[in-house]
Structure 1
Amino acid sequence: MSVFKRKNSPYFQYDFQLQGVRFRGSTGKTSRREAEFEERARKEDAARQIERHQTADKAFRGQGDLTLSAAVARYWQEKGQFLAGSDTVWKNLERMVDHFGAATNMADIRDADVAAWVALRRGEKAWGKDKTARIQNGTVNRTTVDALRKVFGHARTAWKIRFPDEPTWSNHRLKERETIGAEVKRVDQVAIANKMGDGYRDMWLFALATGLRLAECFVSWSQIDMGGAKATLVQKGGGERQVILGRAAMAILAAQQGRDETHVFTYVCRRRGGKNANKKLVLGGRYPVTYTGLKSAFRRAVARIGLNVRFHDARHTVGSAMTRVKGLKAAQRQLGHARIETTAKFYSHVLDDELRDALDAAIPHISPHSAESERDNKLKQKRKKT
């Protein structure tokens, strides 16, 4: 079937089958010619997917070595694409295959190989910073050791494949600096928003209204229940959780309606020559906000103001406010922590501050000097009486 339009959508849709597998969806194009080009690209991509899956199936049936490329393709199909921040997951998987090689047998990846990869990644320069800045240990862990460990772990649990010389992952994780987030003052929240462009500003305000992580803010309309004022999110481990949306969040979402049929947050292209998901942008066109685009927009905004604020501090601001008003249990539910101990670790200091303020208000302060003066006055009065 060629491209076609539905009554309730301005975009052409595609719907085709390859080797018994059905592929369908929106082309995101309003022109038939552009939609047909998009459909052709989707068919080529579908053919590559099927080829990778066939190679993987042979390995899983014991008809060949389990190559890293085959394992990554199946891991992505079964789990990776459903994880929070799936775009970042895919980039990490691509980086993994590029480093070790697509044809590398997973059983041949051992401790020495992982150690060399970590050292190489550790020496890379941090993007957008001065020439001497290196990638932080946490980023190295997430993009190398943790990413590869998850593929190995999925192979063990889902495919029942054992690796006699599997790397000892704990030996390769670098020590990370533990940071406690800071609350963002109201005046700074507004100042940052005013320095961010259309779409990016809305996502910053949405994070401040919900406490979502940066990756969780990339929601689609299928995840939003406008009537029930709830959002269904994919958690870090791949499970789902529901988040309550307050009036502020609902107002932000209402302002996005009608802009894109799939993605909630979009922006208008203001300059020529840009790219979005490797596609050339059209001046004045509206496109989904990307992960790297949002991080760059936020970094530029705080730099212009001269603030030392992270995007994640929006989450800490919401968590602190929830703890202060409704307690740790309410904060745990809104933030999606599996264990109350995690919430207490980062937000119990808020309750300590509240208790300290209550003590100061309830119990008058008596300094040593005032205590001595009070005693001396009592002695003088006693002498006068005698």
Structure 2
Amino acid sequence: MPFRPQGTRYWHYDFQIRGRRFHGSCGTEDFEEAKAVEAEKRVEAKSQATASPKGIFTLGEALGTYYAEVAQHQSSARTTISQGKALVSGINPETKLHEITMAMIQRHVSSRRSEVANGTVNRELQMLGRALRHMQKIHAATIADLDLKSVEVKEAEERVRELTRDEQTRLFKHLREDLHPLVLLAMMTGARVTALTGLKWSDVDLEARIITMREKGQVTRKFPINNEVRAFLSSLPKAEDLPHSRYVLTYVNHKAKGHPRHRITPTGGIMEKWKEALVAAGIENFRFHDLRHTFATRMLRQTGNLKLVSRLLGHKQIDTTMRYAHVLDDDLRTALDDYAVTGRVPKKSPKRRTTD
């Protein structure tokens, strides 16, 4: 387990394998990241030990190595940490990869379903699959033959929740002013929170009028900059200190000396301010992801072009965008209200006569 020596802000690791000591700095102040670094160091140390069987690694080592070598460089790094923590809470982290059974996986799935949404369970399984494949490909790990897809659970159809204009006014009234840009850019682009908080100035080309969005799964997509977005980005206040100055969206850190601007992260205390604003504004059943739905429904209502909206959202299949088709149905219904074969268009539905 990582520890922090007196006089340093970084966590350190110190362990022995086959009588040989391995120790040093994890190079991070974050305890969860330090655990991942330590796990990676254990993998490296084990591969150096001549008496250690090749290709034999534990679940904890696999998740830690995957984080250190792949996930920590992604915008969804903290999500990967929480997913790893969930996995080792249900499956012993000391379990060797080739000894993991489908029964273990199924028990974990059954337990997690009582705690979180089915979609969350599936995302955890998918991350486990990526970690196992990484260990097999990069470190020649011996892994069990697991069919993780077969134990994924059916997800409820995602509901579409649009922010009304009145709710929008109330939200900005109660939301901290330095968090307004985060919400505005979400409504202007329909981007997910991880893509927005990971957006760097190097991803923004105001001259070419293109933003490079970095989505989940290391996918990038180009988003066109219109006049509103261009003026908005040009007016944003910037952080002065590295690494925060690299990021587009920042907030005023009132806890730090001098109140400097720091980058906004998708998790942590700053996002709690978003939730507090929703409560203060009296907005119920609304998540940050619903800002993406808001962008989609408003854009579809304005253009009537489902294919265009699908491309702007980065959907690979237009079927995914069909959840917003109700907007077109409303427009069609409105158009039909003004159409009549007989020439008589009732303004209101006639009242049903009642008898005594």
Residues of 2 paired with 1:114 and 1:91: CA distance? 17
Which whole-Å deviations, capped at 9, do the CAs of 1:90-149 have from their partners, x for residues lacking one?
A: 33234434654554311112122223333443455xxxxxxxxxx33333333x323223
Q: Indicate the residue corresponding to 1:379 in structure 2.
A: none
TM-score of the pair, normalised by structure 2: 0.73
1:324–1:351 contact (8 Å) kept in structure 2: yes
Letter in 1 for 2:296: G
Between 178-187 and 205-214, report the one with greater CA deviation.
Answer: 178-187
Q: Indicate the residue corresponding to 2:168 in structure 1.
A: 189
Pairing 1:354-365 to 2, within 5 Å after superposition: 354-363=331-340, 364-365=343-344
What is the CA-CA distance between 1:303 and the residue it aligns to? 1.1
Call closer, same or farther: CA 1:162–1:361 in 2, change over 3 Å: farther
After superposition, the CA RMSD in angstroms is 3.4
Q: Give the counterpart of 2:300 among 316, 319, 323.
A: 323
Q: Give the counterpart of 2:81 among 44, 65, 90.
A: 90
1:306 aligns with 2:282: yes
Q: Give the counterpart of 1:210 among 163, 167, 189.
A: 189
Residues of 2 paired with 1:339 and 1:305: CA distance? 36
Letter in 1 for 2:117: Q
TM-score of the pair, normalised by structure 1: 0.68
Structure 1: runs of 5 or more not aligned: 1-35, 125-134, 272-280, 371-386
What's the secondary structure of 1:261's corresponding residue? helix
Letter in 1 for 2:273: A
1:114–1:167 contact (8 Å) kept in structure 2: no
Q: Indicate the residue corresponding to 2:262 in structure 1.
A: 287
Residues of 2 paired with 1:302 and 1:321: CA distance? 20
What is the CA-CA distance between 1:157 and the residue it aligns to? 6.5
Letter in 1 for 2:122: N
Residues of 1 paired with 2:247 and 2:85: CA distance? 24
Letter in 2 for 1:141: N
Call closer, same or farther: CA 1:304–1:365 in 2, change over 3 Å: farther
Which whole-Å deviations, capped at 9, do the CAs of 1:219-255 have from their partners, x for residues lacking one?
A: 1222222322322122223221111223333333223
What's the secondary structure of 2:319's corresponding residue? helix
Q: Count the aligned residue pairs.
A: 309
What is the CA-CA distance between 1:189 and the residue it aligns to? 1.4
Q: Indicate the residue corresponding to 2:230 in structure 1.
A: 250
Calculate percent identity across the aligned residue pairs: 28
Call closer, same or farther: CA 1:108–1:198 in 2, change over 3 Å: farther
Residues of 2 paired with 1:305 and 1:40: CA distance? 41
1:112 aligns with 2:103: yes
Structure 2: runs of 5 or more not aligned: 1-6, 13-23, 28-36, 350-356
2:211–2:222 contact (8 Å) kept in structure 1: yes
Q: Indicate the residue corresponding to 2:313 in structure 1.
A: 335
1:239 aligns with 2:214: no
Q: Indicate the residue corresponding to 1:127 in structure 2.
A: none
Larger of the two Rg values belongs to structure:
1
